[in-house]
Structure 1
Amino acid sequence: MNHIALPGGADPDLVRFPVDPRDRLRAWDASDEYLLRHLDETEAPLDGSVVVLGDRWGALTASLAAHTAHPPTQITDSYLAHRATELNLSRHGHTADAARLLSTRDLPPQRVDVLLVRVPKSLALLEDQLLRLAPAVHPGTVVIGTGMVTEIHTSTLQLFEAILGPTRTSLARRKARLIFCTPDQAVLAARPANPWPRRYQLPADAPLLAGRTVTNHAGIFSAERLDIGTRFLLEHLPVTQGAAHVLDLGCGNGILGLAAALANPAAELTFVDESFGAVASAEASFQDNTEGRKARFLVGDGASDLAPGSVDVILNNPPFHSYQASTDATAHRMFGGARRALRPGGELWVVGNRHLGYHVQLRRLFGNCRTVAGNPKFVILKAVKRG
């Protein structure tokens, strides 16, 4: 093959999405570079069906697009990863059809000859995706995983072993490691059933939702139990009247929006998250608990796809991790999008850890912020969009 250009080299720089000049986080790390270097040095065959699983910002897909006989297939749970991949493909001089972009909820390819896995933070998501891809894997499939040393555990290797076949790891390089798996037909045939999605019943003391059952696809936040921050906001959920438009922003499995819907049967509900699995979970939970009631379910970048001034109340429990990095950039972007989507007089309700200092950002964006409630760990804040 031609020499694969490594991230950060002579080719156009790779970027995250949305592009923010103030964001110092890179769109690639040492594990991406390690995998690409290995493929280049070993001249791995890339003439069959190549699948890239969990490519975080498109670094692997964009770097490989010029070296595969057919457009590689990227599978990710992240809407932002898809948009970053499109942007990075363009920056590398490729057209939109240079790669096939699938979500974790789409049907996977029927045959996989090369499977490259960027190990996700969520072991559940890795389990779900390996099980979904296993029918397309055959004994001749080249399977290579990559991740930082801190991301690859015994349990990670055990999943590859149980679903695909014998597995070993490389030596560490720049705190990154490769996983080599040899698919075995007996292991593939005897693989366990996929346990995802899972459902659990909310506790009897859950405000507004006692005993309700929620659906959780693999990899979403709080897929096993009710999150304590979400519970705290449920205890102080704002009261809406009539056909108020309520947005569950960064909805996860949709518990906040579901509670708002049950509290006000006339409310209009919209759920949005950048995770395909989260939106699928929220939609399933809503349909199971509202007897055919309608709502909108959007996969996207926060409130960016909503019409300005179209929302009355926004409920938000923002994430503060971007993979392994702690950052307030995601919350800041959510808050800015929320302000645009709110009508004059509309309210943004946020629950977050006390130490994150969201009140500072909200005062800067909205010109106001009030503490609704607090406990030793969490604080609930309300900001109002002025006319």
Structure 2
Amino acid sequence: MSDRMTAPWGEYALARFPEDPRDRLRAWDASDAYLLSHLAESGTPSDGTVVVVGDRWGALTTALAGHRPTQITDSYLSREATRANLARNGAEADTVRLLTTQDPPPGRVDVLLVRVPKSLALLEDQLHRLAPAVHEGTVVVGTGMVKEIHTSTLRLFERILGPTRTSLARQKARLIFCTPDARVIEARGNDPWPYTYQLPDDVGVVAGRRVVNHAGVFCADRLDIGTRFFLRHLPGGRGGGRAVDLGCGNGVVGTAVALTDPDAEVVFVDESYQAVASAEATYRANADGEAEFRVGDGLEGFAPGSVDLVLNNPPFHSHQATTDATARRMFTGARRALLAGGELWVVGNRHLGYHITLRRVFGNSELVASDAKFVVLKAVKRGS
């Protein structure tokens, strides 16, 4: 569903990606509009290299396309939304440079616009990576909803780039103004990401193994309790076949499959570039043999009937919004990609009711394991 954002330079038709008529969530919010209004009032940007970090659905990048900005994002979906929104609004494809968080950043940044991410760790990593390109004349403005900007957010800007203050709130949005200081940038210290830790001794075949987490990956400093429960109840070795760790995060589940069944062909998939980089590093640290690592929109691009097993710990947030849309799409994609008799194994919070969604998509759902907080469910593809 597309809607329209009014900015000082015009009105823009915007949509999230992939477009879903059932999804009523907008592709922009008040913090995007506030930042664009501020830029128009201050006459920024006038020239130089403009970098937009963390633009969630391309609203900022699309509105600033005339300034030929560079967008940096961790999200494949955000990147594809930006492409679609640029085309929807008649921008030339080569007006914007699209980079991921795994790409080298520009060598010089004159205007740095930061949509504050949900993950403080990701913001820390992004500011560290961009700091060498920032100079004392760089205009640095962050934006976010009031509930997304905390004292810790401001301290990160201050510690890595320089003195920082905030604006008054407008429509529950706030701006961050940072004045780069060469002395602060020089003394900022090393980027602590990626972060490595050792798994506990009660998680089956991966017990005591090393996990690598790039900034922004869910629960990057420890094993989250849902995955911990899942690792205790994974299917046993199946003597080969193609297994997909869908929404792989740091890849510990797919790595466990590879260690349990060395003949399996394991594919790691996530829409986060940081996650797929983490999964590959975790796999390389613990397993031998080949595996495939894909950044993409779930199981799009997988041929029907090409997968034997899908393992999934689906997210139930899209940025600040709680929604089951992602899980629903993952389950539907899994059914299409699985061969007849293939299985989808899911872990989730009990209250999310995934068994109901699985029955709608697969026609069946079996409880494999449960505790007070989580369930592990299995659905089997019947027929073709």
**1:84 is matched by which residue type in structure 2?**
A
Aligned residue in 2 for 1:378: 374
In the other structure, the counterpart of 2:203 is: 206
For 2:213 and 2:300, how far apart are their aligned partners in 1?
25
Letter in 2 for 1:142: V
State the aligned residue count.
379
Counterpart for residue 120 of structure 1: 117
Alpha-carbon deviation of 1:10?
Answer: 6.4
Out of 93, 96, 113, the residue aligned to residue 99 of structure 1 is 96
Distance 1:89 1:210 in 2: 46
Q: Which residue of 2 aligns with 1:26?
A: 26
Q: Does 1:224 align with 2:221?
A: yes
Question: Take 1:381 and 1:204, find their aligned partners in 2: how far apart are those partners?
Answer: 24
1:286 aligned residue: 283
2:150 partner amino acid: H
> Unpaired segments of 5 or more residues in structure 1?
none
One-letter identity of the residue aligned with 2:87:
S
The match for 1:297 is: 293
Secondary structure of the corresponding residue to residue 225 of structure 1: coil
Match of 1:46 in 2: 46
- Matched residues in 2 for 1:8 and 1:165: separation? 29
Deviation at 1:6, TM superposition (A): 2.9
- For residues 284 and 315 of structure 1, what CA distance do their matches in structure 2 show? 19
Asked whether the 8 Å contact 1:6–1:37 carries over to 2, the reply is no
Q: CA deviation at 1:240?
A: 3.3
Q: Distance in 2 between matches of 1:182 and 1:248?
A: 43
Structure 1 counterpart of 2:230: 233
CA distance in 2: counterparts of 1:205 and 1:336, whole angstroms: 32
The letter of the residue matching 1:128 is D
Q: Give the Å deviation of 1:208.
A: 1.4
| SS of residue paired to 1:6 | strand
Distance 2:156 2:287 in 1: 37
Tell me how far 1:7 sits from its aligned partner.
5.7
Deviation digits for residues 114-161 of structure 1 (CA, Å, limit 9, x no counterpart): 000000000000000000000000000000000011111111000100
Per the alignment, residue 142 of structure 1 pairs with: 139
1:163 aligns with 2:160: yes
Pairing of 1:1-387 with structure 2 (within 5 A): 6=6, 11-66=11-66, 68=67, 71-291=68-288, 293-387=289-383
Q: In structure 2, do the counterparts of structure 1 residues 86 and 8 end up closer, same or farther at CA, with 3 Å as the change threshold?
A: farther
**1:293-318 deviations in whole A, cap 9, x for unaligned?**
11000000001121211110100000
Contact 2:8 2:36 in 1 (8 A): no
TM-score by length of 1: 0.96
C-alpha offsets along residues 53-77 of structure 1, whole Å, 9 cap, x if unaligned? 00000000001102x1xx2000010
Q: Following the alignment from structure 1 to structure 2, what is the Cα–Cα distance between the partners of residues 373 and 290?
A: 27
Secondary structure at the aligned position of 2:357 is classed as helix
Check the 8 A contact 2:140/2:179 in 1, yes or no: yes
For 1:252 and 1:59, locate their aligned partners in 2 and report how far apart those are by CA, in whole Å.
Answer: 26
Corresponding letter in the other structure for 2:63: S
Q: 2-side partners of 1:32 and 1:11: how far apart?
A: 13
Letter in 1 for 2:48: G
**Aligned residues of 1:128 and 1:194 also touching (Cα < 8 A):** yes
Task: Tell me, yes or no, if the aligned pair for 1:7 and 1:28 is still in contact at 8 Å.
Answer: no
Partner of 1:144, secondary structure, is strand
Could you tell me which runs of 5 or more consecutive residues in structure 2 were left unpaired when the two chains were aligned. Answer: none
Q: Alpha carbon RMSD of aligned pairs, Å?
A: 1.3
The alignment-based identity, stated in percent, is 69
Looking at structure 2, the residues matched to 9 and 19 of structure 1 have their Cα atoms a distance apart, in angstroms, of 25
Residue identity in the other structure for 1:336: T
Q: Quick check: 2:9–2:63 contact (8 Å CA) kept in 1?
A: no
Deviation at 1:261, TM superposition (A): 0.6
C-alpha separation between the residues in 1 aligned to 2:344 and 2:250? 19
